[in-house]
Amino acid sequence: MRYLFALRSRMTEVRQKTDFLRKEMEFSVNEVSSSEFPVIRRGVLKLRGQSGQECQVETPGCFFHTHFGSIPHLTPDDLQYVKDSLSCIPLNMTLSTASVFADALAGYEKSVGAFVGYPSSVVYMSLHDPLVPLKPAMNEKATIGIWNRTGKKKLTPEQFMDMQDKLKPDSVQIMCDMDTEMEGSSNQRLTKSYDSSLRWLDRCLELMKDRSSHYPVLATVGGGSDPWRRKNFCLEAANRKVDGFVIDGFGSGWIAKWKEWEVTGSSLFGPHEALIRESIRSLPKDKPRFIHAPLSPTAVVQLVRMGVDVFDTSYPAALADRGQALIRTGDFCFEVWTMSEKGYFDDLTSLSTRCGCYTCEKYTRAYIHHLIACEEINAGVLLMIHNLNEYLKFFRDIRKSMDEGKFHLWMPQAEAGRQQADRD
């Protein structure tokens, strides 16, 4: 009898552990149809950290972009000024920066989120910082190359998984060979990228079976600029046991030219739009689609219309780096203001009359202009608080418009940006 009780208890423990692993990432999505748009995706992404904390991200939504584990310009205490702060923060860390402290975390018993000052967080580990252009010839036949403060680090699938075991993230973007350009990549290079990415994906999934740590994994959609390879890569990746997808493989130009589409989204379109649509068309509907890039509200609206679910906050960080503010000029319109311009020297109005964030309630445009002119660190802090609040409110408003059947109201500005891109 005692043996049967112990066996039953052990079976219950195993079942509970299996259920826990199965529920580390759950994604529920509703496809809302209308006369204007055949399909719009509105969903909820639920994540559970390895420490047991739970995080819920409504989609379309975004993770908090970090640099070396920190939200740019802000300390953990500064998040009290971000109105969309959650009890559990979804952090997007990058392997290219986190690899620096991987060895220090090897014997650390707590989560990587706690290590960087965010104990109440769920950490998604992507590959590269979206604000740092990829360096050419990063990858080789058997290794992926990542760059950090110490230089280039080469990783085989085995070394990649060992590093993840040290960092202990809550979800991971699997290594891939995305070092392909939109123009100039030969068929041989595209084939190598295609084959290497699938081979590494399979190897990483195989290695996960024999490890004690389990976490959701995201496959990166590759194929470069070739629609046939991209479609087939999506179909192949969809047949693997992955929890979501990252749309990538557009080369370094995808990141390096972000300044050109901060308002109009110009460099997003052309060849990129067709490839994104081809990628999404070939992916399963019940799994989340991520994209990592500094995306303006205009570009986000277009990507949401195509079916992308999850973004990041690298765009407000990039604006703060450049001394710029994201300003809402209408219910569905935004502008980018450069606060170092002389016109703000004696402007004593609040940064934005439509925003109620800490920066806009307490400080004037003239004061922020002064901080930038004096190269004060608080300029970036105040701009980041404002930009982050404005960007997160934008996502809340997009979701609200979907729920009310008014998403089409966002389209005039986005369509104007697209037409401008076509003219360019």
Is the pLDDT confidence value at 383 over 50? Answer: yes
Q: Compute the mean pLDDT over every residue in the chain, rounded to the nearest whole number.
A: 82
Task: Considering only residues 38 and 381, tell me which one the structure prediction assigns the higher pLDDT.
Answer: 381
- Let me know if residue 211 belongs to a domain: yes
Q: Cα(77)–Cα(117) distance, rounded to whole angstroms?
A: 10
Q: Cα(242)–Cα(240) distance, rounded to whole angstroms?
A: 6
The annotation status of 357 as a binding-site residue, yes or no, is yes
- Let me know if residue 379 belongs to a domain: no
Number of C-beta neighbours around residue 206 at 10 A: 11
pLDDT in tens, 106-158: 888 888 999 999 988 999 999 988 888 777 656 777 888 888 888 888 899 99
Least-confidence region, from 196-200, 337-341, 380-384: 196-200
Which segments of 10-164 are extended strands (E)?
A: 25-32, 40-48, 54-59, 61-65, 89-94, 121-126, 144-148, 151-155
The annotation status of 355 as a binding-site residue, yes or no, is yes
- Let me know if residue 398 belongs to a domain: no
pLDDT confidence bin for 263, thresholds 50/70/90: very low
Is the pLDDT confidence value at 75 over 80? Answer: yes
CATH of the domain at 296: 3.20.20.105
Least-confidence region, from 38-42, 77-81, 90-94, 203-207: 38-42
**By residue range, what is the domain housing residue 93?**
30-321
Q: Are 339 and 366 in contact (CB under 8 A)?
A: no
What pLDDT score was predicted for residue 270? 58
Is the pLDDT confidence value at 58 over 50? Answer: yes
Q: Cα(146)–Cα(152) distance, rounded to whole angstroms?
A: 6
Give the pLDDT mean for 405-412: 85
Highest mean pLDDT among 303-307, 320-324, 330-334: 320-324
- Let me know if residue 393 belongs to a domain: no
pLDDT confidence bin for 190, thresholds 50/70/90: confident
Residues 6+ apart with CB under 8 A from 241: 205
Q: Is the whole-model pTM more than 0.75?
A: yes
Q: Cα(384)–Cα(101) distance, rounded to whole angstroms?
A: 25
- Let me know if residue 58 belongs to a domain: yes
Highest mean pLDDT among 93-107, 191-205, 245-259, 308-322: 308-322
What pLDDT score was predicted for residue 137? 59
The annotation status of 234 as a binding-site residue, yes or no, is no
pLDDT confidence bin for 364, thresholds 50/70/90: very high
- Let me know if residue 36 belongs to a domain: yes
What pLDDT score was predicted for residue 339? 96
- Let me know if residue 370 belongs to a domain: no
Q: Cα(167)–Cα(120) distance, rounded to whole angstroms?
A: 16
What pLDDT score was predicted for residue 259? 53
Give percent of the chain with pLDDT exceeding 90: 46
Q: Cα(24)–Cα(267) distance, rounded to whole angstroms?
A: 36
Give the pLDDT mean for 19-45: 71
pLDDT confidence bin for 30, thresholds 50/70/90: confident
- Let me know if residue 373 belongs to a domain: no
Least-confidence region, from 104-113, 134-143, 273-282, 336-345: 134-143
Is the pLDDT confidence value at 414 over 70? Answer: no
The annotation status of 374 as a binding-site residue, yes or no, is no
Tell me which amino acid residue 31 is.
E
What pLDDT score was predicted for residue 183? 61
Count of structural domains within the chain: 1
Give percent of the chain with pLDDT exceeding 70: 81
